């Protein structure tokens, strides 16, 4: 596999300046939006086939979010791409200073399989809005969606502007031998690390949207019933295969009984007595992940659910209790419909359980107490967080979405996505009518005068 040729063609297209005008970018975003409408049926069918997403779920969590990202970008493009004035230090005066967002050039985008349309197309929206060319590689583990996304891209964009490459690890590795100007990767921490190592060879900047275990803390003063409902929603969406799904729950022993009862009640309310029959409940992506997840079912007491069927890749929404913190299900990212619930006595013990864990992509806290909220947010770092909810902080374009440390670096969504694909170039334009001589050699100032002057000259 040799991708040198078309990367070169994309770079030539970028260097022609074609992607710079805002009108061009807007037109391409609108073309993508129209293509999403035209390709809606094959995309929805592919998502149903790959992950058993109902058309409603697929639209709400995939296509609808991409359309929202497009609308937001089209509306905000002028503001995001405008030069931002900055003050100039006296040393350089008279002059004007500003920051100009510049497209990087040719961007490489990798997508995961869990939201296989949204998580490749939403970053593409940001890449186009910022004026880049893009090579897009959807996940091979959602093969029908990968095919449908590639078909949409082929039909909508000239190859020298945006193109799709399908395939697995070998294709990804071959792509990474080329020099790109930006890499945007969404996937696992393990692969993210090797993507960053490959990017280092060309000193290509990266955004890494990775995974990990998202802890959820339910305090004694939480609104227990509501907490359970919101946790069940965030956890079992897409059968738990969501990077920001609550991975495990720590619940204060004082409320653990009503909390677990409320979890069970809400699971039944959402998915019925047999989730297999629910149109709103997904399937595990493949046999390997099914086997991995089924292995966790013995890591605690099955309090609810536990039913599973390899032929259908079905695992019922499951609550595990009596789980040892050193069990595998508490060490690895679950990424499936199994929710371990561990008890703690008082906030101090909960914080002790969380300290030293790898920094999570999201942290969820259920409490009515602002002092508890401040303390937990201050003591437990994470990429993002919700108080009294799950997942919602990543919906909408206003909040940057990203991880920290092992859960990622950089951010996406809305303006943050635009910035992920832009270089902030600092520019100073000096006036011609005055040229203060003091900076030029031979230097006549004494050191004492210089010291006094620098305080003034470097301020603005």
Catalytic sites, residue numbers:
209, 243
Residue 343: strand pairing partners: 251
Q: Which residue has the tokens 């409490």?
A: 367
**Applying CB under 6 A, does 195 fall inside the site for ligand NAD?**
yes
**Applying CB under 6 A, does 184 fall inside the site for ligand NAD?**
no
Which CB sits closer to ligand NAD, 120 or 347?
A: 120
DSSP track, 206-258: EEEE----EEEEE-TTS-HHHHHHHHHHHHHGGGG--TTSEEEEEEEGGGHHH
Biggest CA–CA distance in the chain, Å, is 87
Interface of this chain with ligand NAD, residues 279 to 298, rule: CB under 6 A:
none
**Applying CB under 6 A, does 210 fall inside the site for ligand NAD?**
yes
| Residues 65, 277: Cα–Cα separation, whole Å | 26
Stretch that binds ligand NAD, among 30-38, 149-157, 206-214, 418-426 (CB under 6 A): 206-214
Stretch that binds ligand NAD, among 12-20, 104-112, 222-230, 295-303 (CB under 6 A): 104-112
411 neighbors 402 (Cβ within 8 angstroms): yes
**Applying CB under 6 A, does 303 fall inside the site for ligand NAD?**
no
Stretch that binds ligand NAD, among 6-14, 44-52, 151-159, 204-212 (CB under 6 A): 204-212
Question: By rule CB under 6 A, what string of x and - marks binding of each residue 242-261 to ligand NAD?
Answer: -x------------------
366 neighbors 385 (Cβ within 8 angstroms): no
Which CB sits closer to ligand NAD, 219 or 293?
A: 293
Dihedral of CA atoms 382, 383, 385, 390 in degrees, nearest 10, equals -110
**Applying CB under 6 A, does 188 fall inside the site for ligand NAD?**
yes
| Residues 224, 113: Cα–Cα separation, whole Å | 33
List Cβ neighbours of 62 (8 Å cut-off, separation of 6 or more): 43, 47, 53, 115, 116, 117, 118
**Applying CB under 6 A, does 113 fall inside the site for ligand NAD?**
yes
Question: By rule CB under 6 A, what string of x and - marks binding of each residue 400-439 to ligand NAD?
Answer: ---x----x-------------------------------
Which CB sits closer to ligand NAD, 88 or 194?
A: 194
45 neighbors 52 (Cβ within 8 angstroms): no
**Applying CB under 6 A, does 112 fall inside the site for ligand NAD?**
yes
**Applying CB under 6 A, does 278 fall inside the site for ligand NAD?**
no
| Residues 151, 133: Cα–Cα separation, whole Å | 18
| Residues 107, 63: Cα–Cα separation, whole Å | 22
**Applying CB under 6 A, does 332 fall inside the site for ligand NAD?**
no
The crossing angle, in degrees rounded to 10, of helices 189-202 and 169-176 is 20
What is the smallest separation between the CB atom of 239 and ligand NAD, expressed in angstroms? 13
What is the smallest separation between the CB atom of 51 and ligand NAD, expressed in angstroms? 12
Which CB sits closer to ligand NAD, 172 or 255?
A: 172
Which CB sits closer to ligand NAD, 199 or 347?
A: 199
| Residues 36, 54: Cα–Cα separation, whole Å | 17
Which CB sits closer to ligand NAD, 403 or 414?
A: 403
Considering only CA atoms, which of 369, 258, 355, 264 is closest in space to residue 306?
264
Which own/partner contact pairs does 304-312 have at CB distance under 8 Å and 24+ positions apart? 304/263, 304/264, 304/267, 305/267, 305/275, 305/337, 307/274, 307/276, 309/276, 312/276, 312/283
* Pairing of the two strands 422-430 and 314-315: unpaired
| Residues 36, 31: Cα–Cα separation, whole Å | 9
**Applying CB under 6 A, does 314 fall inside the site for ligand NAD?**
no
Which CB sits closer to ligand NAD, 206 or 222?
A: 206
Which CB sits closer to ligand NAD, 268 or 292?
A: 292
Instruction: Report the residue number whose CB is nearest to ligand NAD.
Output: 211
**Applying CB under 6 A, does 361 fall inside the site for ligand NAD?**
yes
Residue 424's H or E segment, with its range, is strand 422-430
Among 17, 87, 158, 168, binds ligand NAD (CB under 6 A): 168
Considering only CA atoms, which of 99, 122, 125, 100 is closest in space to residue 111?
122
**Applying CB under 6 A, does 392 fall inside the site for ligand NAD?**
no
| Residues 115, 189: Cα–Cα separation, whole Å | 17
What is the smallest separation between the CB atom of 383 and ligand NAD, expressed in angstroms? 8
Question: By rule CB under 6 A, what string of x and - marks binding of each residue 126-155 to ligand NAD?
Answer: -----------x-xxx--------------
Which CB sits closer to ligand NAD, 105 or 116?
A: 116
What is the smallest separation between the CB atom of 167 and ligand NAD, expressed in angstroms? 7
Chain residues in the site for ligand NAD (CB under 6 A):
110-114, 119, 137, 139-141, 168-169, 172-173, 176, 186-188, 191, 194-195, 209-211, 243, 333, 335, 361, 403, 408
């Amino acid at each position: 596999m040799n991708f040198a040729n078309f990367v070169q063609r994309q770079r030539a297209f970028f260097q022609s300046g074609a992607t710079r005008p805002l009108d061009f970018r807007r037109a391409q975003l609108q073309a993508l939006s129209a293509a999403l409408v035209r390709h809606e049926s094959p995309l929805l069918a592919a998502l149903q086939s790959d992950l058993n997403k109902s058309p409603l779920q697929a639209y709400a969590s995939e296509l609808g979010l991409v359309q929202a990202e497009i609308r937001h970008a089209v509306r905000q493009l002028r503001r995001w791409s405008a030069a931002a004035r900055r003050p100039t230090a006296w040393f350089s005066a008279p002059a004007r200073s500003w920051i100009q967002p510049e497209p990087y050039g040719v961007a490489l985008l990798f997508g995961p399989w869990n939201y296989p349309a949204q998580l490749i197309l939403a970053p593409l929206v940001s890449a186009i809005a910022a004026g880049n060319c893009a090579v897009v590689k959807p996940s091979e583990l959602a093969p029908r969606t990968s095919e449908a996304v590639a078909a949409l891209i082929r039909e909508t964009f000239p190859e020298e502007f945006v193109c799709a490459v399908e395939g697995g690890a070998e294709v990804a590795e071959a792509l990474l031998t080329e020099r790109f100007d930006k890499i945007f990767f969404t996937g696992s921490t393990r692969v993210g690390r090797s993507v960053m190592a490959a990017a280092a060879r060309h000193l290509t900047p990266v955004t890494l949207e990775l995974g990990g275990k998202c802890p959820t803390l339910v305090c004694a003063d939480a609104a227990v019933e509501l907490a359970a409902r919101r946790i069940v929603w965030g956890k079992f969406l897409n059968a738990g295969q969501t990077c920001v799904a609550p991975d495990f729950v720590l619940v204060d022993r004082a409320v653990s009984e009503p909390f677990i009862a409320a979890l069970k009640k809400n699971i039944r309310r959402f998915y019925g007595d047999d989730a297999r029959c629910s149109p709103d409940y997904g399937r595990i992506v493949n046999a390997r992940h099914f086997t991995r997840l089924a292995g966790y079912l013995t890591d605690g007491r099955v309090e609810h659910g536990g039913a599973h069927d390899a032929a259908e890749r079905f695992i019922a929404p499951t609550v595990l209790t009596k789980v040892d913190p050193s069990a595998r299900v508490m060490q690895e990212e679950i990424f499936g419909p199994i929710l371990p619930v561990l008890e703690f006595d008082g906030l101090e013990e909960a914080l002790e359980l969380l300290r030293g864990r790898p920094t999570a992509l999201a942290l969820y806290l259920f409490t009515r107490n602002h002092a508890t909220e401040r303390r937990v947010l201050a003591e437990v770092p994470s990429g993002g967080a919700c108080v009294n909810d799950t997942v919602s902080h990543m919906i909408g374009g206003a909040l940057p979405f990203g991880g920290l440390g092992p859960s990622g670096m950089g951010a996406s969504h809305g303006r943050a996505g635009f910035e992920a694909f832009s270089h902030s170039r600092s520019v100073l334009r000096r006036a011609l009518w005055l040229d203060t001589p003091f900076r030029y050699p031979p230097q006549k100032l004494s050191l004492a005068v210089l010291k006094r002057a620098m305080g003034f000259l470097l301020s603005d």
